[in-house]
Amino acid sequence: MGYKMIYLARRNPVATAAEFPKLWRSHAAFVSQFGSVGSRFTQVMQCSRVLDVPGVAGASQDYDGVAVLSCPTLEDTLTQTLPPDIRVKVDTDERRVFDGLVEDFTMRASEHVLLDAGFDAARERAALITFIKAKPGVSGAALAQDFREKRWPALRALPGMTQRVVRCVLNEIVEKPPAGYEYDAINELWFASVADAVSVLSDPAVQAAMSGQPADVHDPARTVQMFTRITHTWTAPKS
């Protein structure tokens, strides 16, 4: 099992949505000069909201991207204490790029890989990333179990899914999330390209299966779907 920091980001409003991926990459370049910041990550993926296609029904337009930061241990996901002078520089650059500080919209999770058909995390890979909220009275563990045992097998059985989906991951929230981001699980559904994703996700049968039924354990009104593509990626060298 791996662990992740996942953040759901809004851009600094001085930038346009089209400018955001480049601005976000510049932030990665800036913080890379501080070795202690990135040393705890095994992989970084900046997934920007897809802008140039009609998109996917139900996908949110309220955010600009999702960062998926993989870590070897839960301790690596926890808030990092930086020297005060470096902390000020990092915070200043985060405000340059985002509408606030990254810590205020970051969630910690344990990773459960349900499918991996050779995913390589290259740029332009596409993902539907869903931030799932459980219904009142349903635990995060019960929500995750429902997804692994019922929802994902049902999705996988639909025509086209096994041919086009290259990776499916359920991330179960393990630490108290920040205010405004009280999700219980995060699902990553990966495709080789935006075109492949649109082909599958525009199928009415897939849309119906993903929207769920009233008896389901998740709360659709408080669930956020992001249709994204990788615009920056980095993988730590193997030792």
pLDDT at 205: 82
Tens-binned pLDDT, residue by residue, of the chain (239 aa) = 689 999 999 999 999 999 999 999 999 999 988 876 767 789 999 999 999 877 687 899 999 999 999 998 878 777 677 889 999 999 999 999 999 999 999 999 999 999 999 899 889 999 999 999 999 999 999 999 999 998 899 888 887 787 889 999 999 999 899 999 999 999 999 999 999 999 888 888 887 777 655 457 888 888 999 999 999 999 987 76
3-235 CATH, one of 3.30.70.100, 3.40.50.700, 3.65.10.10, 3.40.50.620:
3.30.70.100
Q: Are the C-beta atoms of residues 215 and 150 closer than 8 Å to each other?
A: no
Q: Tokens 């108290």 map to which residue? A: 176
